[in-house]
Amino acid sequence: MKRLLLVIAIILGVAAIVLRLYFFEVGAKAIPAFDDECKISLQAKQIARGQLPLLILGSPYVFPLEAYIQAPFINHLPRNAFGARVVDFAMGFITIILSLMIMKRWGPWRNTWPGVILILFPSSYLLMLQVGCALPGYPTLMMLASLVIWLALKHAEVKRFKWIFALLGGICGGLAASDTMLALPILVMGGAMIAVANNRQTAMISAPICGIGGLIGFAPHLAAKYMNHGAFDTVLQNVSFTKALKKIISPTLEKTLPSAFGWGPTIFPDHRERVPWIQGFDFYIGIILLLLLIFFTVVVTRKAVPRWRQERWPSVDASMAFAGIAWMCLVLFIASSRSHHHTYRYFIPFVLSFPFLIAYTYQQSGKATRWVLGILSLMIAGMNLTATAEIVQRWNTPGFSDYLKCYDLKPVFSYLEERGINRCYGTYTDVYRITYESDEKVICCQPLNERFPGWNIPFSDTVNQATNVAFVLSDSYRFKPNDFEAELNDMHTKYRKETCGHYKVYTDFEFPLEPAGKEVPPEKLTITTCHNTESAKALNDGNYGKRWQSFKLQEKGMWVEIELSEPHPVSQVKIYYNQYRHDRAKRMKLETYDGFKWTTLLENIPHKLDIFEFVNGHPSYMNEVHTLRFPAVTTTRLKLEITEPTEKRDWTMGEIRVFEAK
């Protein structure tokens, strides 16, 4: 009998490995490395060169822990999907090993086999994130979650050097939470296991050491918030209590929770489309999962309370930790303003905890309940395998990567090489792919941050300074070819367009409007304002993010005066409103002073901003600018005056630049 069980265990283990290898192979062949994966690999290269980023490229949240893990290997990996995913694939295997090590501590496999089965053949969504693709934050979340619980168990077992396991457990939990805030349940429950383990004497030492470890691990998050204004703010926003209650039914139980568990899973991480599945049962599956969690929690609590009475100490074991993690995931999902019907990632720790909860309950139950739980586990494993097969089949479908809008870049690279172009602009989903797949031979950036407006744009300094630049656009995100062409036409800009596969490549821009001459050096300008005069120097300090604000509602006659240190023939003034475009006047006039009287150069200036600047021979969307062009005049004084104010708005500007006539 033992030999038969051993053979079955070996077969299941080999099958689990083969399943993962096959899933990984299919993904690597069918789907190119996509934007977020490329971000991590590009940052791994930066780290290998000595940089220490605190946030993922172009994003106000997520500490790039995967990039730090990938950095030692990045220069030995190919610049393709395999190279972008193989390190995360290895982390997926480490997660399985740690999970089985935790399970083994609960007793022989015959007492925990339902959980083991679900670890080997997990939810297709979880498996997709473990080995199919490498979304930032989630491979490390799963690995560190397992590691924290394992360290907490070791901490409770060892007699000496408990502080080492307490410190390491805290660091790992803090790192997981720095990487993604979805790991907060791991930090809290793993920390609780360590902080109140064994007895009061142990807790007096372990709790503060674990807390110190947690702060060390969480330090990247705190440093990012300190050094980057607004970092992580969006992910910490919650909905009202009433709205959170409504979210329990929809989308939590009606769709998101069942799909995360593998019932009609998504075809790709957090994609809105799901694989073909039995219709009409999603809500009932959600109810069953919730009832199972309640049942598991009752079993865990009934076992814990007598232990607390006997030991006279409220220790937290692994079963309580997993139950707490699951409940906290539910709360985080319904409370977050960023959770939606397709954001299945919120339930990763819940799904990860489920095999342990079912194994623990199986171990503590009688024969009848064991039969039910055993059959249920086999049914869930069968569902997981069926869903995984559906996903693999869909990924293998010709053109699936095009459906995901991960288009082939080879035609683009060929054309850029032919034209001698190695700097370009593109849409969010393409720029990191272009830079990664070319191994930075072609540097690409967004013309503006499409996903996080106002946030920094990686590689923009390099691309903006180039003079031989292309715009490489597709329909993959918001900045699309038709929109760009409409804006070029609106600005009367000529261009050359080539079709390269799914991409439109724009080059050879010609801007017909009269170009300005040299800029009058900012230090030769003295700017005074009608209000808040002490801040007027912000208007020519070279810092476009620093602003002058009137601190008074706009009214007709408000003015800003520009004094030049000596007479200059000028023909252009640029006003930069960056991030404060709503605080501009409806209409203004521009005047010049000849030593005797003010003369109007431009009147009824509308508040329409330039669509883009023309910089270094190409369009630039980096600034929100209003260009005032007028016949050349030699002067030492210019004045902007409001003729029609914008109601209930202050007057705000970021910078003013004056240009000589050409």
pLDDT at 662: 82
- The number of angstroms, rounded, from the C-alpha of 607 to the middle of its chain's C-alpha atoms is 35
pLDDT at 597: 92
- Amino acid letter, 418: E
pLDDT at 387: 97
Query: Alpha-carbon distance 41 to 70, whole Å?
Result: 7
DSSP lists the bridge partners of residue 472 as: 426, 505
pLDDT at 266: 96
> What pTM does this model have?
0.92
Query: Alpha-carbon distance 290 to 519, whole Å?
Result: 66
- Amino acid letter, 291: L
Burial of 353 (C-beta count, 10 Å sphere; 0-12/13-18/19+): buried
Is the confidence at residue 134, as pLDDT, over 90?
no
Q: Among 104-108, 209-213, 349-353, which stretch is predicted with the lowest mean pLDDT?
A: 104-108
What's the mean pLDDT in 260-286? 94
Composition of the chain by helix, strand, coil, percent to 5: 55, 15, 30
pLDDT at 1: 67
Answer whether 38's CB lies under 8 Å from 436's CB.
yes
pLDDT at 513: 77
Tokens of 153: 């168990």
Share of the chain above pLDDT 70, in %: 99
What is the chain's mean pLDDT, rounded? 95
Is the confidence at residue 234, as pLDDT, over 90?
no
Is the confidence at residue 507, as pLDDT, over 90?
yes
What's the mean pLDDT in 214-233? 92
- The number of angstroms, rounded, from the C-alpha of 295 to the middle of its chain's C-alpha atoms is 35
pLDDT at 330: 97
What's the mean pLDDT in 59-70? 95
What's the mean pLDDT in 252-275? 94
Residues belonging to the chain: 662
Residue ranges of the alpha helices (H) in 137-183?
A: 138-157, 162-179
What's the mean pLDDT in 281-310? 96
Share of the chain above pLDDT 90, in %: 89
Query: Domain residue spans in the chain?
Result: 2-395, 410-510, 522-660
Taking phi over 0 as left and psi of -120 to 50 as alpha, with beta for the rest, 52 belongs to: beta
Tokens of 209: 């050491």
Please determine, looking at this structure, whether the domain spanning 522-660 carries the CATH number 2.60.120.260. Answer: yes
